[in-house]
Amino acid sequence: QVQLVESGGGMVQPGGSLRLSCAASGIVFEIYHLQWLRQAPGKGRKLVATITSGGRIEYDYSVKGRFTISRDNAKNTLFLQMNNLKPADTAVYYCFAYLDDEYWGQGTQVTVSS
């Protein structure tokens, strides 16, 4: 059974930082491409960052320079380091693994508010 389990969300003030983790099981983690997506209240799910199995990284323009995606294949874990958070970053954050098949995590809430 494949599981992706996010953690690390919470409430933080503007300018603060959070580190999200996504622990995977049931897949050959290192061959999957991985993404973080987020869904703000009343909006659709939006791609935040991608890291491929080969280590190629891409970011949405709205988070470039503030967020860092990384992966630890030895620990089957995906990370998202989020710095200088803004209220516009408030959303449920999801990890997503894809190759020939696709898997989603359950999401973790990030709230940026003073």
DSSP letter at 102 equals E
State residue 18's pLDDT score: 98
State residue 17's pLDDT score: 98
The pair of three-digit structure tokens given for residue 107, joined into one six-digit string: 């999401």
Answer for the pair 110, 10: CB distance below 8 angstroms, yes or no: yes
CA dist., res. 41 & res. 113, Å (int): 14
State residue 86's pLDDT score: 98
State residue 101's pLDDT score: 96
Spans of the chain below 70 pLDDT = none
| Exposure class string for 42-52: b at 16+ Cβ within 10 A, else e | eeeeeebbbbe
Alpha carbons within 13 angstroms on the beta-carbon side of residue 20 total 34
State residue 26's pLDDT score: 96
Answer for the pair 93, 107: CB distance below 8 angstroms, yes or no: yes
Q: State residue 89 phi and psi, 5-degree precision.
A: -85, -5
State residue 54's pLDDT score: 96
Q: State residue 15 phi and psi, 5-degree precision.
A: 90, -10
